[in-house]
Structure 1
Amino acid sequence: MQDVTSTVMAFKGSHYDLGVATAHWLKKTKIMQNREKEWKKRTPRFDIDIKETYTIFQIYAPQIWEEIQGMQEVLNIPTKQMLLNFAHYRFTDLKDSGCSVYLGDNYLLRNYDYHPATYDGRYLLFQPIDGGLAQIGPTSRITGRMDGMNEAGLVMGYNFMHRKRPQNGFVCYMIGRLVLEYCKDVPEAIQFLKELPHRSSFSYIIMDKDLNHAIVEVSPRSVEVRFDRTCTNHFKLLTHENRNYTQESKERLQRVLKNVPQHVAAQEAFKVFNNPQYNIYSKLFKSWSGTIHTSLYKPQELEAWIALGENNMPRQFSFNHWLNNDEINLQPLEGKLDTELTFASY
């Protein structure tokens, strides 16, 4: 069992200035060195086209392009390398992973399951002054989000489905960021997800301040929407897009349904997701399916909870207070993971 930590960063300003601040943080970590090692071991199965990536960002996310430019100003590395590591738009590979999501009466709860070596170890509160919505949540691959909430009360998490037949498009963590950056409610998010070019197949689980909710099943070829309260790692509508093996995902879904009854309070549901005894929390870190954090979002209160590792008390952030310039706890998050694998920032 190892102790792990995650930096908590709060930033109000332009996207470009966020990029500068992020790059200075990066230089204090081992993320860039670890990423270079990974690219040497695993040749990318996609291309980087600078001109086309610039064009697609001007259509969907011009401010995030400015953020990348701010990072490049400090890191001083070639544009192609910047896009490889931070733009998350692919032309032409994901490991198998798991995640579990439950939509309560007034909250979204999820376990983020993946490989620790891909985890930034950074929790970011960001309020832009140059367009886009303020957001809170953990970052993924520096510029992306694997789950989070924005100032309008829209909450998002995603679950991996498969990596068959990828196409040109954004990858999951940038899509998660884009949804939080530009969508205020569930109808807007559904429409946006239908318009975006998708690299691979995922389910995006969303809830808004009015407690509307949806699970948007996405592949590079089609998008379907279902209105359900649970999601693991198989499609229920786009079943022809599922992986050949979905038994583990279906069994985990049954454990969620069994152990998290309808109308259960947020605190009780969080304990079930974060306690390995219920077999929703996973320790399969070497298989790219270990639970790194458990997060919960209350859109009506603009409240975000997160716990690193297992059997941990969540840190509770009042995003609303921070937006109104109240002080919040910015001490690093702490937890325990039952693995020797370390975060990308170590």
Structure 2
Amino acid sequence: MKRVHSDIVQFRGSHYDFGQMQGELLKKSVILANRQKQRTASSRHLIIDEQRAKNILQTLAPRVWEEINGLADALNWSLHDAIREFGGYYLEYTRSGCSIYTESDFMVRNYDSSPQGYEGRLALYQPTDGGFATIGPTMQITGRTDGMNEKGLVMGYNFINRRNSEDGFICNMIGRLILENCATIDDAVDLLEELPHRRSFSYVLLDRTGKSVVVEASPRSVVVRESAVSTNHFELLVEENRYQIDDSRRREEAMLKQQQNKIDAYSAFRLLNDSNQGVFSTKYSTASGTLHTASYFPRNLEIGFAIGPDRLPLMLDFDKWLQGERLYAKRINGNIDTHFPFAHMAEL
């Protein structure tokens, strides 16, 4: 078992200042050096039109654009490099797994991916220049793998397919834009219909009304269905699915079976986090092993977070943090059974 941690990052202020703060943290981290090693010759050229990416960001994500500028200044990078690394537009994204279970008052989510791309950061951010306060794990620094905002909107996504991609935002930046700009499911669906999508993903949404939907989004179409579980296949846009979805179906069935019993939040967390329940994944060699399990409670704005299997979640009160209290926790620790190195902990 490998000892793994996730740092808790807290910030209140403008997006530009948030970017600068994160840039200073990155100077002390191995994340960016590892990213350079991971980047292949082809992926270096994935952003082929810097001006187009800049125009899209300034139009649809102007505050995140300020954050990227802050990162660039702190790191002494060109905007070209900062857009490529942090812009979340027209970039490569490795395949992943992920399972999500919701009831009317909570969402539990397994984030399944490669340790070599995991950043190990849980960010709490309260902007002073517009946008909703958010809490969630980071991906490519500016993006989010899942999370919740001050309005009680909860978001998680599931990878579907990399084939037939087009110009557009990738999942983690789309997740950030949802959380920072949308108060309700309806708001989020409207945004998902407006944004250009790079890849095919499902976006699972829950808000304070207790409604939960799965938005199936591809570069070609966006459709909505009501559902309480989601794995790695579409139910409506079936032509976008991969050829092999047996494991996705298996995890879905395990959750649907439990859903019939209307289980509580702790039981749902155990369903996804326990190694013997059939949902937690150890497929780290195929970039689809479970890295963290998160539970979100939109009505009281609490979250639970655990790294690795068979853990009790660390509970965090986001509502108290929004009122000005600072979290005393600095780091979340866990154990994961893999020989692969983590991008935020050691040189790859």
- Normalising by the smaller structure, the TM-score range is over 0.9
What SS does the aligned partner of 2:189 have? helix
Paired position in structure 1 for 2:332: 333
Which position in structure 1 is the counterpart of 2:4? 4
* Cα distance in 2 between the residues matched to 1:202 and 1:323: 30
The CA RMSD measured in Å over matched residues stands at 1.3
1:154-173 alignment to 2 at 5 Å?
Answer: 154-173=153-172
Partner of 1:315: 314
Instruction: Measure, in 1, the Cα distance between the counterparts of 2:133 and 2:104.
Output: 24
| Structure 1: gaps spanning 5 or more residues | none
Q: Which runs of 4+ in 1 moved over 3 A?
A: 40-45, 259-262
Q: How do residues 38-49 of structure 1 correspond to structure 2 at under 5 angstroms?
A: 38-40=38-40, 43-44=43-44, 46-49=46-49
Distance in 1 between residues matched to 2:259 and 2:339, nearest whole Å: 30
Contact 1:48–1:83 under 8 Å retained in 2 = no
Cα deviation, residue 247, structure 1? 1.2
Give deviations 1:220-276, integer Å, cap 9, x for gaps. Answer: 000110001010000001011111111111111111222454421101110121111
Q: What amino acid does structure 2 have at the position aligned with 1:80?
A: H
Alignment partner, residue 87 of structure 2: 87
| CA deviation string 1:152-195 (max 9, x = no partner) | 11000000000111011000000000000100000000111000
AA at the equivalent of 2:317: S
Q: How does 1:114-193 map to 2 (within 5 A)?
A: 114-193=113-192
Q: Distance in 1 between matches of 2:221 and 2:104?
A: 29
TM-score, L = length of structure 2: 0.96
Alpha-carbon separation, structure 1, partners of 2:146 and 2:270 = 19
- State the 1:84 CA deviation: 1.3
Q: Distance in 1 between matches of 2:340 and 2:15?
A: 32
Distance 1:37 1:292 in 2: 21
Query: Partners of 2:113 and 2:312 in 1: how far apart?
Result: 21
Structure 2 residue aligned with 1:212: 211
Which residue in the other structure is 2:50 paired with?
Answer: 50
In the aligned structure 2, how far is the partner of 1:113 from the partner of 1:242? 18
The alignment partner of 1:103 has SS state of strand
Taking a change above 3 Å as real, the CA distance of residues 75 and 48 of structure 1, as seen in their structure-2 partners, is farther
What amino acid sits opposite 1:343 in the alignment?
F
Q: Identity percentage over the alignment?
A: 42
- Rounded Cα–Cα distance in structure 2 between residues aligned with 1:94 and 1:78: 22
Report the alpha carbon displacement of residue 14 of structure 1 after superposing the two structures with TM. 0.3
What is the CA–CA distance in structure 2 between the aligned matches of 1:89 and 1:132, rounded to whole Å?
A: 20
CA distance in 1 between counterparts of 2:50 and 2:41 reads 23
Give the residue type in structure 2 aligned to 1:285. Answer: Y
Preserved contact between residue 259 and residue 278 of structure 1 (Cα < 8 Å): no
Alpha carbons 2:203, 2:216 under 8 Å: kept: yes
**Aligned match of 1:62:** 62
Could you tell me the TM-score, scaled by structure 1's length? Answer: 0.97
The gaps in structure 2 that reach 5 residues or longer are: none
- 1:236 equivalent in alignment to 2:235: yes
Query: Per-residue displacement from partner, 1:287-313 (whole Å, max 9, x unpaired)?
Result: 101000000100001111110111111
2: CA distance, partners of 1:66 / 1:6: 25
